[in-house]
């Protein structure tokens, strides 16, 4: 299993545990966050880019596969707003890979893993072309004027989904 942290920062040498912002997590324990390779495409956008991502899970219905995917060879979609196209085209990301031995699964659907100790990356990869990277991973990329309709639709589907940075999305 490969675990990575995605950043726009080029030279992170050590990842120190940080107290989570989420209210559903223990705020007395600092964590280092990583994402598994299957859900990595959810983070191959600029950090603050609002996005709706979804993929086929073990409970996804055939009707939702037909409804939400344009091809039977694709099982993961990333949707961004038009306003983020140029920023996405001009952003460089760095993938910091970790030794997974100190990490434990925090959220199976999201692919989040956490470690409670400082982590040093075992490798770093630079991604200059986010669209090319998503395409190479066979991810369908959609660009829309507003994310809220698709967000509402996937939330009520049988898909595995993630809504990221929606506070930066256009208003409904």
pLDDT in tens, 134-149: 999 999 999 999 999 9
Tens digits of residue pLDDT in 77-121: 999 999 999 999 999 999 999 999 999 999 998 999 999 999 999
Q: How many domains does the chain have?
A: 1
Q: How many CA atoms lie within 13 A of 135 on its CB side?
A: 4
Query: In which region does residue 39 sit, left (phi positive, over 0), alpha (psi from -120 to 50) or beta (all else)?
Result: alpha
**Rounded Cα gap, residues 124 and 22, in angstroms:** 27
Query: Which pTM was predicted?
Result: 0.94
Q: Which domain holds residue 62?
A: 3-168
């Amino acid at each position: 299993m490969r675990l990575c942290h995605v950043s726009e920062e080029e030279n992170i040498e050590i990842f120190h545990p940080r107290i989570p912002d989420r209210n559903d997590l223990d705020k007395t324990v600092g964590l280092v966050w990583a994402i598994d390779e299957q859900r990595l495409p959810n983070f191959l956008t600029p950090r603050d880019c609002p996005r709706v991502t979804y993929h086929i899970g073990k409970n996804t219905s055939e009707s939702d596969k037909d409804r939400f995917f344009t091809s039977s060879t694709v099982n993961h979609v990333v949707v961004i707003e038009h306003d983020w196209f140029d920023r996405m085209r001009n952003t460089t990301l760095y993938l910091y890979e970790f030794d997974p031995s100190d990490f434990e699964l925090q959220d199976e659907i999201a692919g989040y893993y956490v470690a409670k100790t400082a982590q040093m990356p075992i490798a770093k990869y630079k991604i200059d072309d986010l669209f090319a990277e998503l395409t190479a991973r066979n991810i369908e990329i959609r660009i829309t004027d507003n994310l809220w309709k698709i967000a509402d639709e996937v939330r009520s589907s049988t898909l595995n989904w993630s809504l990221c940075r929606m506070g930066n999305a256009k208003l409904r």
